[in-house]
Structures are given as C-alpha cells and as structure tokens.
Structure 1
Amino acid sequence: RALALVEAGTHRRVGVWDRETGETRWLIDDPERNIERAFVPRGSDGSTAVIVEARGARARASLLDVASGAERRLPEIPGDLIPLRDLGGGWWVGEYASSTRPDDLVRFRIDDVRPEAFVSLTRVWERTALRPDDLAPAEDFRWRSVDGLEIQGWLYRARGAARGTVVLIHGGPTWHSHDRVDPELQYYVARGFNVLAPNYRGSTGFSLSYQEAIKEDGWGGREQDDIRTGIEALIAAGIAEPGRVGVTGTSYGGYSSWCQITRCPPETVAAAAPICGMTDLVVDYQTTRPDLRPYSEEMMGGTPEQVPERYRERSPINFVGNIRGQLLIVQGMRDPNVTPENVRAVTRALQEAGVEHQVLAFEDEGHGITLPKNQRVLYRRLADFFEGAFSS
C-alpha cells in the first residue's frame, strides 16, 4: 500500500493506493481544504499519517488514522509545527518554527501542544546571543483588494515610533511569506521600521484557487493591486504614514517593486529597491534560461510575438517616466534567471527619462543575494536608503 496525495483540479485529496488491486480508497476529499503534504512518519507501523494543511499562510497538522479515516487536528498555535515521529507514550518529535523561534527539532506531548512546553533537541538558543524577545512577532493583517478578494500579510511592528514602513514582497510568485524568522525582515524592524510581508493572489499557503488566481491576469495584474491596497490599508489603519512607505523584494518581489514604484504616487510608495527583478518582460524572455520560458508563456498567455501588447503593458521599463519616488536597483551580476541585461536596459530608459537612481551590483551573486558577507552589505544599504528616502 502507498499513501497518495493527488491533485483534483480545485484541491488535493489523500488516499491509500493498493498495489495489488490498483484501487485507491480516498480518506480526505474536501474542496475546502488545502492539503500540501501527507506522509507516514518514519519508524511507524503505517497506521497513522501526518497531514499538513496550509491555512492562512500557516502549516496546520493533523494525525490521520489510515484504517478508519478518523482525523485528530493539532491545536492552532503561533508558528508551524509538523509532527515527524511518534516516540510512544504520547511523546513526538517534530519540526517547529515561528517568527520568534528559529527552525528547531522539538520533543512535545501530543496532548499538550504549547510552544512554551516544547523541548528543543537542537538547543538552538545555546547557539546564538539572540533571545526570543529580540525578534518581532508576526501579526496576521488582512485587507480587501480592488475586487473584494481578502488578502493576508504578516505585519511586524517596530518598537517605539517607527521610522517608516517597508513592504517586503516575496518572490515566486508561487511561494508565500511564512510566520518564521527572516533575518532581512527582522533587521529592518530592529532598525526601526514597520514591515509588511503581503501574500498577494498567486501565493501558496491558502488554496489552489488562490494560487492559480494570478493566471487570470498574468504577471503585473491584480496581484499588484493586492500589494497597493495593502499599503493603503496600513495607512488607513494609522500604521503607515503617507510618503514613508518603501517596497523591496527579490525576483518576482523585485518585479513587483518595479510595478509599485512606476504605478503609485510617492504618497503611497516613496521608495523602491527591486532586487533581481524583471524590468522588460521581452528582454527577460529572450535572455533567461530556456527552461523558464514556458513558465513566462503560461503566465502571459503566449510568447512576446503572440501577445506583444500584454508584454509591453506589463513591463515596468515602459513606465519609468512615472517614477516620482526614490530608486535603488540591486542585481546579482551572475544571475541566469533575471539576467543583468534587465538592469542595462532599464538604466538606459531611466537616463533617457531623467530619473535619478542608484545601482548596487554584486559581481559574485546570481539570482538573489545569498552570501552572508553580501547580505550584511545589502541589508544595511537598504535600511539606510529607506531611512534617507523617508526623511527627505
């Protein structure tokens, strides 16, 4: 027998496949659930499966009796807990992480699922001078987009009066911002900024329909409205101030940063620092890795030759004359995905339009700034850039 996790159009279902008969007995088949993982714990007798369901950008686990289909859902707690192995006697080993606790292997009782009761097996806090109080907790922040769709993001608040707000946009777009320790995000909070990490339509962590919704418009569609309306919701709530909001992100987060700075007035987006972001979708299609081109075609509805107007209207390079905020472009010069040609093309356009800008290039980086020595440079530079933009 084998445990099967199968896509069924609008959702994923879980069943047991019998190799001898070829039949599958479905245990969970619910369009309202967003199951992302299903596995039988190592060392178990195969009677229990662990089901991991994404709800509201969190991972929620349950234990499924394979014979009866009875399911025991674990309590909802801050962060993500994934049971990995049954130790017997009610004790389990699991993986746990949250915005105030680094990824950790923990021992816990299945009848007492509280983070404060978990026993760290990696002794993570003995390996760092940081304490949980040094890290900002994630708050669930929600708003409505232009079409009424509810959008979720993680809000992190600075201690005391904030210097401004940084919107940190995740890449992918098939990914999502988690309630987990993010060094870049935590650094901005420590420097005095509020931070919003939005999970725009197209993000994982919610439902298959939410994840697929970005394909209705293609890149540069309503997911960009989701981000903008998140900024407007922060301002309306008194969390952010007009003229003191900046955007940044890597890859699709970089592309989104370009979209925001070319579409929004400075009262909404005062500064942008796109990192390895597409600027001209035609140039990107022509210069990226050949294996990535079918993804562009899927998202844009065809090749640049087939739908030239869509590529034109969704390329920020064609709208740099609209920029009224401050701009810092960050690029890895060995990037095979979003190649440096994107930067060369857009800097020419910026110069022709008379738009002031800065460029921070890393000769030893590819797609994203990943080397610790470069991250130290990047995070400080970005924090200084936003601080200067908000005070000017």
Structure 2
Amino acid sequence: MSIDLSQHDAFLDRLLKVPQLYGAKISPDGNFVAWIWAGLAETTQLWVTASTGLEQPRLLVGDDWDCDSFRWAPDSRSIVYARSKDGDERVGLHQVFLDGRAPVALTEDRPDYYIHGGALAKDGRSLLFSANVDENGAEIEPTWVYVQDGPKGGRRVLARPQRAHYGWPLLSPDDRHVLYDRNDPDPAGSQLWLTDLAGSFDREIVNVGPDKKADGSWTPDGKSVLVVAETATHRKIGLWRLARGAVQWLIDDPTRNIANADWPRRAAEIVVDETQDARPRSYLLNPATGTLRLFGPFTDGTLAPVGVLAEGAWLAWHYSARVPARLVRVALEASGPRILGAISTHPSAHIPAPDELVAAEDFRWTSEDSLPIQGWLYRARGDVIGTILDIHGGPTAHDEDAFGIDPQYFAHCGFNVLQVNYRGSTGFSFEFQESIKQQGWGGAEQIDIRTGAEALIRAGIAQAGKVGITGTSYGGYSSWWAITHFSPQIIAAAAPICGMTDLVVDYETTRPDIRPYSEEMMGGSPSAVPERYRERSPIHFIENIRGRLLIVQGANDPNVTPQNVADVRKRLDAAGKPYEVLVFDDEGHGIGRPANRRVLLKRLAQFFAGAFA
C-alpha cells in the first residue's frame, strides 16, 4: 500500500539546504578560521573567514572532489587538504593558498593506498603523513610514517609500525619532533612514539598497557605532549615532559567521564571535554594548579570550545536538535560564556526556525540485564504513521541533542524516531563503552536496541508491528541483526545502509587500517574466534526474515564493501526472501550527496510507511 508523502518534499528540500559544518580549525596566527561545509553543493567544500566575524565566509576549495580533512600551514597563509572522489576514501593531498594562487598537488590523487594526515613543516617543503605503502609504492598492511620533500617529491620512511593502524603523525610546533601512535602489541591498544624529520631515532614514550589506548597532542610550546590515556575504569590526563621523559598525571579520577583534551594556542588552560549522559560538558584545566572550571554555565543548547582567536575571544560550536551547528565567537565572563556572534553564516542559507524543528527528548529504559539505556526521542508531527529506530554507527560513537536531517524529516512525515545509545556507545562511562567487548558485536547491545522498541510500545509511543529500523555502518549492521533475529511485532521493517552482513567477509575486504578494530571488538581475528564471527553474522540467519527489507549501499564503499551486499543477495534469492535494493554509484561509506540524500530519505519514508500500512 502506497502513502502519499509528497506534501513533505518542500520541507525536506529546505532541510537539505541547511549547511552542515565540521572540522573547524583556527589558523596558527589566530586570524582565520577554516572548516568543511557539506550541503552547499554535491561535494564537501573548504571555507575560510576572518576570525573577527566581520567578513562573509569565502570558498577556498569547491569542485567535483570531496574535501575530507585539512591542516593549516605554519605560516597561516595556506592549507593542506585531503580530497577524494565518489566516496572511495583514497585521498590525495593538495595545498591551497589564501591569496588566490593556484593550488598545488602535493601527492597523486586516488592512490592505491590510504593516506592519513598531511602537515607541512615551516620550511614549506617537508610534508609529513602516514600511509599503508612501502618505498616502492606497493600497498602493504601496516601504516608507515613518511616525510616527503616538496610537491610529489622524494619520500623517506621515518617509522615502520608492524601493524595496520589508523593514526595521524603530528609535527611539534618547533619542527623538531614527530609524535605518532602505533598498536603493535595488541589491536585494542595504542602507544605513543617519537621520531624526528631526519628519522635519526624512533622510540616509545608512553605505554599504559598493551590493550589500553594512549592518545597525544603537542602543547603550544612544543615542550610537552598532552596525553589522554585509558585505565581499566576511566581515562586520565597528563603531560609527558620532553625534558624529563616522564608523564605528570593531572587528572586521574574514576568519577570523571573524560572524552578528550586539547591545549589550544594562546590559551593558558587545557580544554577538557567530558560527556555526562550523552551531553557534552567542557572544562578549562589549569596545568600548574590542577584546578578545573566549567566552560559555562550555558543553557541554550551545547557550547563546545574550539580554541582562542587572535583578539582573545574563544571560538566555539553552538548547537542543539533545533539549532543547526554554527561557529560562534565567545567572551568568557564571570557569569559565564557570552556569544558575541556567529562567523559561519552563509548568505544563501535558510535555516529553519527552532519552532519548525522537533526537540530531542531524553528517553530511558532498562535492558534485559537491568542496565540503564538512554536514547533521544523525536515525536511525530501530526498523525503518527509508525516508529523508526535510527541507530548510530561506530559503535564507538553516540547520538546527542544535535540537529540531524533524518530525524527531523521523518518526524515531519509522521514518524516517531528513537536514536538508541546502546552499550558500547561513548557519552556515558568508560565501563559502558567497553562493555560491548564482553560479548562482541551482535551481543547484548542488540538487546538494548530491541528493548528500546519494546519500551516505546509499552509507553504507548509505538505500536506493535509498526516499528522499523535503519542506520549506517554499524547502524546498518544492527538493522540486519534486528530483521534476522527479532519478531515482526518488534521490528516490522529494516533498511540497513552500508551495513555488514558477513563479519568474515567484512574483515577480509575492508581497508587494512581499520581491520584491527574488528579484532578489538570481536576478541580476535576470524581465524582466532571463527565461531563468534559466524554466529554474529546476519547472513547466516536470513531464513528468519519475516518483515520488509530495503538494502542500501554505496558502490564505492571501501569500509563495508559491496561484497557484503552481493553475498547476502545470493542467500536471500536462494531462500526466496523478498527485498528491495537501492545502490548509489557515486557514494562510499554512507550516502552524503544532497541529491542522493533526497532520493534516499524519500525512499525510506515511503518504504516504512508502506511496511506499516
């Protein structure tokens, strides 16, 4: 049965025109701010503006390539950015200049390996990055650290880690040292290592255990490394002093749920990011006294600091479910932070008013083992068609009270939407995040999702037989799991997007630098724990499918490759199970182009409406 949802098309078009910002960075001199904007065109673009907020943002890079990431050059006059095509994630590094000079290609585009980072030294020639490639240009499993001399110049290996790893090497502010991490002893851990641009030495500096992670970044003076390290129960923060070769721990408190830390240029204090029940809170830490002060209070959404601008104001993110993320200048006053004005306003952007958008409600329930679980509920506008579970990827991530096109559009169409922060999600305790490893993927976290649907039904928010599920990446895997394991009265329809179907195939075909993540989450490789990989792969349970199924995939996905879809379709056809397929030829791991997003979201709304009719 078809339901006409065309009256919501105009609202969807407006949502798709809301610029989505990420990756904001302040130039070293503090006079400029750059960020990546999505939604203004079919590709992601690099924009820049003066830090004063007195000028309109201007486009630096906008063509038929996606800008994936970037770093400022030390002189603040240019930016090194990574670009890719059609979602294949095989980035090439380029340099773009603020004065309008022609951009320069630093590496080849779309190489047969994966590049991480891309930082220029002060000499303007030495380019630092890591890649899973050897000296002869052949793709390899481990990720090595390189320095390159000039655009497309000769390369020297600075460090040869033994295992594949997803990490960015960081050059110290004085160009003397290179900080990077590696995970040779255990895929679940990471240790901090130090080398230099000459490759004259290579040594480990911080190791908190083979299966524990230590992340680091340089302090503004380049004399220390700011360390965020895992313990058995929490994360702690310290300074590794270059002169002493030892760590001084500044915060080691099991009651604090530390997410990250950064010491921005021009700041006297360290920014400490914490999350409490999926709500971020930022503090400023005095490294000399150890005292903490809240970057707040602030009640009108989330205000998250980025760094200090040249004139002394702070740059911060401001957002909520009803306020799309924007960059603002902030004055820190005795009564709390005061927004001075936004610097990321696009002249042609038409942002919906807050009363046009649905608020994110904090929704709670308990899982089968009595573990408390949290999610965000978006209530339908008007008559309710049904309920959609919108599951985040990762799984090491979480949903928060933040603007999203998908839940706003679905709610406008008449669907209740629940975003589930299942166990394994960040945003809660470190123990909650790590608990997914006890059983591995396809374990208790899927019960958390199912009990979320059941809680909605008990509360009268959802109706049995009118609940569907969708999500991208791990959210796609969870969608596959639900439709192959749960009753149609609980999950009546599933639309997995770029989701794993066979965890062995996923392990063997995914990009090598993220393969250790599977080993960490599953407790080993497929050869080490073959039964676990098999019993947690939805492809072996397709005979249980009794609800509606729509499979969505990006044809160029290097993360969860199309082999996952090809194999499961053979099983579905052999079992006589009906399904629909939607493939995007110019997408990778996720569907990001506005035109494709429009097609996808309209299809999803119609698919779920038909399943619930």
TM-score > 0.5, shorter chain as reference: yes
For residue 19 of structure 1, what is the aligned residue in structure 2? 242
2:274 corresponds to which of 25, 40, 53: 53
Larger CA deviation: 124-133 vs 346-355: 124-133
Match of 1:294 in 2: 516
Stretch deviating more after TM superposition (21-30 or 60-69) = 21-30
Match for residue 28 of structure 1? Answer: 251
Letter in 1 for 2:482: Q
- Other-structure match for 2:163: none
CA distance in 1: counterparts of 2:502 and 2:605, whole angstroms:
27
Q: Any gaps of 5 or more consecutive residues in structure 1? A: none
| Pair 1:43-2:266 in alignment | yes
The alignment status of 1:94 with 2:316, answered yes or no, reads: yes
Residue 127 of structure 1: how far off its partner (Å):
2.4
Is 2:412 aligned against 1:200?
no
The alpha carbon displacement at 1:204 in A equals: 1.3
Q: Residue 11 and residue 349 in structure 1: after superposition, are their counterparts in 2 closer, same or farther (change >3 A)?
A: same
Residue in structure 2 matched with residue 152 of structure 1 by the alignment? 374
Match of 1:233 in 2: 455
Aligned runs of 1:381-392 on 2, under 5 Å?
Answer: 381-391=603-613
Query: Within the alignment, does 1:67 sit opposite 2:288 as a pair?
Result: yes
What is the percentage of aligned positions where both structures have the same residue? 56
Provide closer, same or farther for how the CA distance between residues 303 and 86 of structure 1 changes in structure 2, counting only shifts above 3 A.
closer
Write the deviation string for residues 90-145 of structure 1: whole angstroms up to 9, x where unpaired: 96442212111121122345445589x66333346972142122221111111111
Deviation at 1:275, TM superposition (A): 0.6
Letter in 2 for 1:63: L
Q: Tell me the alpha carbon deviations over residues 274-304 of structure 1, each in whole angstroms, 9 at most, x when there is no partner.
A: 0111112222223222333332233223333
1:16–1:370 Cα change, 3 Å: same
**1:218–1:372 Cα change, 3 Å:** same
In the alignment, the residues of structure 2 paired with residue 3 and residue 303 of structure 1 have an alpha-carbon distance, to the nearest angstrom, of: 33
Of Structure 1 and Structure 2, the greater strand share is in: 2
> Structure 1: which amino acid aligns with 2:576?
G
- 2:504 alignment counterpart: 282
The question of whether the paired residues in 1 share the 8 Å contact of 2:493 and 2:611 is answered with yes
Question: How far does residue 62 in structure 1 lie from its aligned partner after superposition?
Answer: 1.5
Counting only pairs closer than 5 Å after superposition, residues 177-256 of structure 1 correspond to structure 2 as 177-256=399-478
Equivalent residue of 2:249, what SS? strand
Q: Match of 2:283, SS?
A: strand
- AA partner of residue 370 (structure 1): G
Contact conserved, 1:58 with 1:79, CA < 8 A, in 2?
no
CA–CA separation in structure 1 for the residues paired with 2:341 and 2:525: 53
SS of the residue aligned with 2:272? strand
**Aligned ranges 1:240-389 → 2 under 5 Å:** 240-389=462-611
Q: For each residue in 1:149-193, what CA deviation from the matched residue of structure 2 results, as whole angstroms up to 9, or x when unmatched?
A: 111111111123321111111111111112211112221112111
Change beyond 3 A, Cα 1:281–1:39: closer
> SS state of the match for residue 328, structure 2?
strand
Alpha-carbon distance change, 356 to 142 in structure 1, aligned in 2, over 3 angstroms: same
Going from structure 1 to structure 2, the CA distance change for 1:41 and 1:269 (only over 3 Å counts) comes to: same
Go from structure 1 to structure 2 and tell me whether the alpha carbon gap of 1:41 and 1:298 turns closer, same or farther (over 3 Å shift): closer
Greater Cα offset, 139-148 or 215-224: 139-148
State the one-letter code of the partner of 1:13.
K
1:201–1:133: structure 2 CA closer, same or farther, 3 Å change rule?
same
Bigger shift: 101-110 or 362-371? 101-110
Aligned mates of 2:346, 2:367 — CA distance in 1? 39
How far did residue 12 of structure 1 move? 1.9
Distance 1:319 1:240 in 2: 26
How far apart in 1 are the matches of 2:450 and 2:284?
A: 39
Contact 1:219 / 1:300 at 8 angstroms: preserved in 2? yes
Deviation, structure 1 residue 243? 1.0
Structure 2: tracts of 5 or more residues without a match: 1-222
Aligned alpha-carbon RMSD (Å): 2.4
Q: Is the CA contact (8 Å cut-off) linking 1:35 and 1:51 kept in structure 2?
A: yes
Aligned to 2:72: none
Query: Does the CA contact (< 8 Å) of 1:104 and 1:124 recur in 2?
Result: no
By percentage of residues, which structure has more helix? 1
Alpha-carbon offset, residue 77 of structure 1 = 3.2
Rounded Cα–Cα distance in structure 2 between residues aligned with 1:357 and 1:160? 30
Instruction: Give me the whole-angstrom Cα distance separating, in 1, the residues matched to 2:355 and 2:598.
Output: 22
Q: For 1:88 and 1:298, how far apart are their aligned partners in 2?
A: 42
- Does the CA-based 8 Å contact 1:42-1:84 persist in structure 2? no
Cα contact 2:465–2:488 (8 A) shared by 1: yes
Greater Cα shift, 304-313 or 226-235: 304-313
Give the total of aligned pairs.
388
Task: Please state whether the residue corresponding to 1:376 is helix, strand or coil.
Answer: helix
Q: Which moved more, 1:214-223 or 1:154-163?
A: 154-163
After TM superposition, the score normalised by the length of structure 2 is 0.60
